[in-house]
Amino acid sequence: MNLSLIGTGYVGLVTGACFAEVGHKVICVDRDAEKVKLLQSGGMPIYEPGLEELVKKNVAAGRLKFTDSTREGVENSEVVFIAVPTPPLPDGSVDLSFIEGVAREIAAAMTSYKIIVDKSTVPVKTGDKVAETIKRYCKSQVDFDVASNPEFLREGFAVEDLMHPDRVVVGVRTERPVKALKEIYEPFGAPIIVTDINSAELIKHAANSFLALKISYINAVSVICEATGANVQEVAAGMGMDARIGRRFLDASLGFGGSCFPKDLSAFIKISEQLGYDFGLLREVQRINTDQMERFVKKIVETLWVLKDKTIGVLGLAFKQNTDDVRMSPAIELCLRLQKEGAALRVHDPKAMDKARALLKDVVYVDDMNAVAEGCDALVIATEWPEFKKLDLERARKALSHPIMFDGRNLFDVKEMKRLGFIYKSIGRG
């Protein structure tokens, strides 16, 4: 099929590349002309495992192209996917100005029947607003359908998630677009769930909020583990073997971050509030997440006492492994908190240092993870990159002025770290 993706961020670019990979002809549209030029020249605006190879392969095959013209995308497509940002507003609600703007552009470019699919994460009832906007601004008065197709991609595993999805959710206002939408996803071999459009929009916010709840739950349990000498990893393993619970998202840490969980949680709380329901459970999830960072900073301060004029090494800046995304990253927040306390920082991340420079100033960026500890009073693990498990611990111990490590991701074994001579502080492990 002929498809277009309006927006080439994480969702739009990965989705477009994967659609092309299974044989569809795809036009990816972005208003940022410089980003389009970068993609056309073979460059990549983001790091995502496997994505660069997929893009180059399908561009060469003629199935994937890039443009800054919405009209070009709409005119040459049967189905138009909206994948633009939906950033949070100060009150926690969602800024839908990009959605509204794209809907108007699509309307202005339409000259024949189109299926417009909202792939961005949006509040329930947005589909109705998109349909109303398109009808209002479409001068040719052609027929169209609006649908919802929320994405469930994990940054760092997005290509894998899209090529092998757990499920595909399609929300529609009428039955007319269902056949085409099923045809798009048929090559992926996943169950396709067809719902009304309001249910599809709610599924995404409900799913992400529940996953955030799981993370906050195990972080709350980690506090009890520390108070009793229990091991949160053993508790999580025992819980996770229950098929009703599952082991995923039960890793105690600094807390969740990134561009999805915090935003979607706030949005769902606000949506509920606007509908007359106080979703207090989710506000508690937010509080636990905030408290987790507070406890970790307190652990560092209590151990080092005064942070002013001390140098701390930090491993990890991305909000999670396998991505260069630093938006709402707990690692960045931690660095800023340590700077506020007066500490100097030496930092390293395998992929995110370039993007971190815009948010984190007056730090020393170190290319080699094994050199970060040199001249430092302590070392902090802030992101769960698998590379960090291969850290030369003997070198780090000798390089530190005091062999102190704060592990915000529980990467190392407590007994082994103590055997090596470290003062080792982790999360929820006695």
Residue 128 · residue 100 · CB < 8 Å:
no
Q: What's the Cα-to-Cα distance from 139 to each of 105, 111, 128, rounded to whole Å?
A: 11, 9, 19
* Separation between Cα atoms, residue 373 and residue 378, nearest integer Å: 7
Enter the DSSP assignment of 63.
S
What are the angstrom distances between the C-alpha of 341 and each of 73, 179, 301, 307, 426? Answer: 50, 58, 9, 6, 20
H or E element: which one contains 136? helix 126-137
| Catalytic (active-site) positions | 260
Q: Where are the alpha helices (DSSP H) in 66-125?
A: 70-75, 97-109
Which phi and psi angles does 17 have, rounded to 5°?
-65, -40
> What is the C-alpha radius of gyration for the chain, rounded to an integer number of angstroms?
23
- Measured CA to CA in angstroms, residue 73 lies from 4, 10, 79, 100, 383 at distances of 5, 18, 10, 17, 38
Give the SS3 label for residue 429.
strand
